[in-house]
Structure 1
Amino acid sequence: MHPDLVARYAAPVPRYTSYPTAPHFHAGIGPDDYAVWLGEHDGPLSLYLHMPFCDRLCWYCGCHTKQVKRYDPLAAYLDALLLEIGLVAAALKERREVIAIHFGGGSPTMIAPKDLQRLREALDEHFDIIGNCEISVEIDPGFVDEEKLTAWRDFGVTRASIGVQDFDEAVQKAINRPQSFEQTAFVVGTLRELGIGGVNLDIVYGLPNQTMESVERTIELSLAMKPDRFAIFGYAHVPWMKKHQTLIDEQALPGVQDRFAMAGLVSERLAQAGYLAVGIDHFAKPGDSLAAALEAGEVHRNFQGYTTDAAPGLVGLGASSIGKVGRGYVQNIVATGEYMRSVKESRLPVLRGKELTDIDRVVGAAIEDLMCAYAFSVSDLERRFGPAASVLRPEAAQVHQQDGDGMTAFDGDLFSVTPEGQAFVRTIASRFDRYLGQGAARHSVAV
């Protein structure tokens, strides 16, 4: 692809794990609003539990987390998390089924086995966790052993996402994340021995000192472990948001053209290995549940990326967590101390949120369809959302008419992204974003 075209479509835009995106949440939504929304919710839920602590601070990380040397802060935080679970359950009015649980961080595997058991007991006390509930956890292979992995098996984990990033030592040194292939392979092997069948590997391109050769070697080593899924992320360099990223040498970062080439190399290599591409950054082995959802047209996208989770409500638990229930989005207090004070005072720890308008719901659904299937149907959206969806027809026509690069197609009903445009679907989706450009939000590049 021509370099000028890549450069033009790589302009910074959101990742669209929500719409409206988090920078447009505001403090006008608070605990009382969230309590009402929870009380109105009907149907099953999925849960996201955030652990904002790490054994080490990786310089590339964009998550809300901090390094700790002692367990005491985690123990106190977990006590608060149990209180929040009770507050949410009380606001729901009725017991709800839970069909998916995801632990993110930070490093959730820092939780001691005895505290993990307490956490499971609290969830069982307040919710009905269905028998085939997918329970997933993010793992840093450098800080787990068989005892901890066994505790997660006993908790009920069915899927683990293992951070790899890059196996090249020069890259690892540049991002402060030493991690050998042997460490990673040990964790993958132990998970399978324990009966945890779903193994995902996370790879990052666009890191400092990364080359096409290092990326290809990382993919080859990763394929040797035969994961069920890959998540391939472009490094988001946002030092204005994450100050520790200033420790990364910007001169060592690959440029836009190199990033595009790395992403293409990974996609080509995984396709050759038989993996199916799911959206912009996930790949699933045939037979995996995400591959089945792709074939059925039932892939979804939320703050955890591409998922089979179809629950009508997502409850975020823990500091900085984001959820979507009923009328809109809410985000918890980010600072752990303030979060803990709020729940100890029996207040839902909401920092900000966004109540959705009818147009927000329509545009959000269209963008999710683009991100998951590279297309949306106006008539389908009209069936789902009523007359409000009709605004998309002239907008889709305009976006297509202004496309002089062959990136889109529109037949009056179906708006689609051509194969040439699929690498830039975030940029194309942004053309329907009514909030983009409002406020001071800054984003990472789109490749």
Structure 2
Amino acid sequence: MSEHIIARAGEQVPRYTSYPTAPHFHAGIDQTTAADWIAALPADEAISLYVHIPYCDRLCWFCACNTKQTLRYGPVQTYLRALHREIATVGQLVPSGVSVKALHFGGGSPTMLKPADLVMLTERLRAAFHLDPDAEISVEIDPNDMDDARFEAMAAIGMSRASVGVQDFDPRVQKAINREQSFALTGTVVDKSRRHGARSVNLDLLYGLPHQTLESLTATIGQALSLAPDRVALFGYAHVPWFKKHQTMIDEAALPDGAGRLAQFQKARALIEAAGYQAIGFDHFALPGDPLAVAARQGRLHRNFQGYTEDDCATLIGLGPSSISRLPQGYLQNTPATAQYERLAAAGELATCRGIAFSNDDRARSWVIERLMCDFSFSARQAEDLFGAHGHEIVVEAERIAGEGAEAMLERRDSDFVVRPEARPLVRTLAARFDRYLDVGAKRHSAAI
């Protein structure tokens, strides 16, 4: 690994789960715009739904999600009433004939919901939208929430994929991030998820955590792989205390530096690949027969707010506070304030507070960034065929980047631009070179690795 790559490991860049990225959304996209965009969906469109549950019964200090802790269920019940109303409001706007191909419950902790409430929520979704009979239904699971009644509710709603939060199994690391969770409990949850219908189980792991070492991370990887997950997501801990105040509870002196994070990433990646998993993009892995791995090999991999996915729907509708929707015309985001969201939803209004409309340049750069993030390459010919002058402009930029000598992260191979193998961990940094918005305003992001 070159010193140049190591030196850039700590650079702050977006995660590129969207382009343009969320800091550049603006209030000029309002409820009226949102209603017009949703109503304009083609009648035969296949879409995805994301449902956000903004509550947890404990607050993990590493978390950067839009969530809040509550030990009372009352606020959750109030929220669910508003969510039911938003579902009905949005469902009335969606043209007849539109079908839902994928449904994802995220948070927060969706598994904090009482079993009957999860079933009712899914029934409301089925009443408002046409769910395809083969739609993938995925749920983010906090093992500490789970009991037999919740597993039975997962089976009742047709859960096909379970995403199980792990982070790390080392007790010292768990205590430092306020996420104590035994290996035995996690193993039980993985087993019961499969017995209750999950065809695919994903484990979320983190590197770059306080007190994490190469030795402790190696042990965690070994334990995680012993559960035979179908997929593994290996995320770098995003330390953003200026954005998430509870992260100030984490001792910054116990965090690894950029070189340390890179070493942890490389070690974990080598262990997971040695166990027979296929690398997907820069931070996911899957067994070769998993649909995600198949999509990657066939050039059908995509990236959205849930990370890497085989979901090829051009439209994603987000429900709940802070949720982001992607429609053919651009991005929409709901207000992140739960109380304001509840007021708007209860009144039968959309909760959209900001967004951004795509320009032709945005579409071209979004495509290039997604292909770099998914395939570590893009075709110059295809960029120009799809986007004309805008694609040509990006090709010229790519040629300039590829000509930067020994430190170049990109190289030209015939009609393709390819990320150099040693620069793949820094693909976010490379993607940022094509981001026309990045220098607009003072925005702070997480470390590149």
Question: What interval of TM-score do these two structures reach, taking the shorter chain for normalisation?
Answer: over 0.9
Superposition deviation, residue 394 in structure 1: 0.9
Partner of residue 17, structure 2: 17
Equivalent residues of 2:136, 2:159 under 8 A apart: yes
Superposition deviation, residue 378 in structure 1: 2.3
Partner of residue 317, structure 1: 319
* Whole-angstrom CA distance in 2 between matches of 1:3 and 1:205: 21
* Whole-angstrom CA distance in 2 between matches of 1:47 and 1:330: 13
- Write the letter of the residue equivalent to 2:130: D
Partner of residue 394, structure 2: 392
Equivalences for residues 68-217 of structure 1 within 5 A: 68-217=70-219
Superposition deviation, residue 162 in structure 1: 0.5
Superposition deviation, residue 4 in structure 1: 4.6
Superposition deviation, residue 18 in structure 1: 0.3
* Whole-angstrom CA distance in 1 between matches of 2:331 and 2:191: 38
Partner of residue 436, structure 1: 438
Are positions 1:226 and 2:224 aligned together? no
* Whole-angstrom CA distance in 2 between matches of 1:188 and 1:334: 31
Secondary structure at 1:331 match in 2: strand
Q: 1:300 aligns with which of 299, 302, 310?
A: 302
Could you tell which deviates more after superposition, 90-99 or 356-365?
90-99
* Whole-angstrom CA distance in 1 between matches of 2:139 and 2:69: 19
Are positions 1:291 and 2:323 aligned together? no
* Whole-angstrom CA distance in 2 between matches of 1:200 and 1:16: 21
- Write the letter of the residue equivalent to 2:257: G
Secondary structure at 1:215 match in 2: helix
* Whole-angstrom CA distance in 1 between matches of 2:91 and 2:98: 8
Q: 2:243 aligns with which of 231, 241, 244?
A: 241
Superposition deviation, residue 404 in structure 1: 3.0
Equivalent residues of 1:10, 1:427 under 8 A apart: no
Are positions 1:57 and 2:59 aligned together? yes
Query: Deviation above 4 Å: which 4+ runs of structure 1?
Result: none
Superposition deviation, residue 411 in structure 1: 4.3
Q: Give the TM-score, by structure 1 length.
A: 0.98
Could you tell which deviates more after superposition, 52-61 or 194-203?
194-203
Gapped regions of structure 1 (runs ≥ 5): none
Cα deviation 1:251-286 (Å, max 9, x = unaligned): 000111110000001110011100000001000011
Equivalent residues of 2:13, 2:429 under 8 A apart: yes
Aligned residue pairs total 447
- Write the letter of the residue equivalent to 2:447: V
Equivalent residues of 2:8, 2:448 under 8 A apart: no
Are positions 1:279 and 2:281 aligned together? yes
Q: In 2 relative to 1, CA 403–29 (structure 1 residues): closer, same or farther, beyond 3 Å?
A: farther
Are positions 1:354 and 2:356 aligned together? yes
Equivalent residues of 1:163, 1:201 under 8 A apart: yes
Secondary structure at 1:199 match in 2: strand
* Whole-angstrom CA distance in 2 between matches of 1:368 and 1:437: 20
Superposition deviation, residue 390 in structure 1: 1.8
Equivalent residues of 2:51, 2:105 under 8 A apart: yes
Equivalent residues of 1:95, 1:127 under 8 A apart: no
* Whole-angstrom CA distance in 1 between matches of 2:418 and 2:90: 40
* Whole-angstrom CA distance in 2 between matches of 1:197 and 1:412: 40
* Whole-angstrom CA distance in 1 between matches of 2:138 and 2:119: 16
* Whole-angstrom CA distance in 1 between matches of 2:152 and 2:362: 43
* Whole-angstrom CA distance in 2 between matches of 1:289 and 1:87: 33
- Write the letter of the residue equivalent to 2:320: G
Gapped regions of structure 2 (runs ≥ 5): none
- Write the letter of the residue equivalent to 1:19: Y
**CA-atom RMSD, angstroms?**
1.2
Secondary structure at 2:435 match in 1: coil
- Write the letter of the residue equivalent to 2:351: P
Secondary structure at 2:406 match in 1: coil
* Whole-angstrom CA distance in 2 between matches of 1:94 and 1:87: 14
* Whole-angstrom CA distance in 2 between matches of 1:129 and 1:236: 34
Equivalences for residues 338-417 of structure 1 within 5 A: 338-411=340-413, 413-417=415-419
Superposition deviation, residue 19 in structure 1: 0.3
Partner of residue 31, structure 2: 31
Equivalent residues of 1:83, 1:343 under 8 A apart: yes
* Whole-angstrom CA distance in 1 between matches of 2:2 and 2:216: 24
- Write the letter of the residue equivalent to 1:24: H
Equivalent residues of 1:161, 1:202 under 8 A apart: yes
Cα deviation 1:226-253 (Å, max 9, x = unaligned): 0000000000000000000001000000
Superposition deviation, residue 341 in structure 1: 0.3
Equivalent residues of 1:54, 1:107 under 8 A apart: yes
* Whole-angstrom CA distance in 2 between matches of 1:70 and 1:94: 39
Equivalent residues of 2:5, 2:426 under 8 A apart: no
Equivalent residues of 1:393, 1:412 under 8 A apart: no
- Write the letter of the residue equivalent to 1:32: T
Could you tell which deviates more after superposition, 88-97 or 207-216?
88-97
Cα deviation 1:209-239 (Å, max 9, x = unaligned): 1000110000000111000000000000000
Could you tell which deviates more after superposition, 162-171 or 401-410?
401-410
Equivalent residues of 1:85, 1:123 under 8 A apart: yes
Equivalent residues of 1:393, 1:413 under 8 A apart: no
* Whole-angstrom CA distance in 2 between matches of 1:355 and 1:227: 38
Q: Percent identity?
A: 49
Equivalent residues of 1:10, 1:424 under 8 A apart: no
* Whole-angstrom CA distance in 2 between matches of 1:261 and 1:15: 20
Partner of residue 262, structure 1: 264
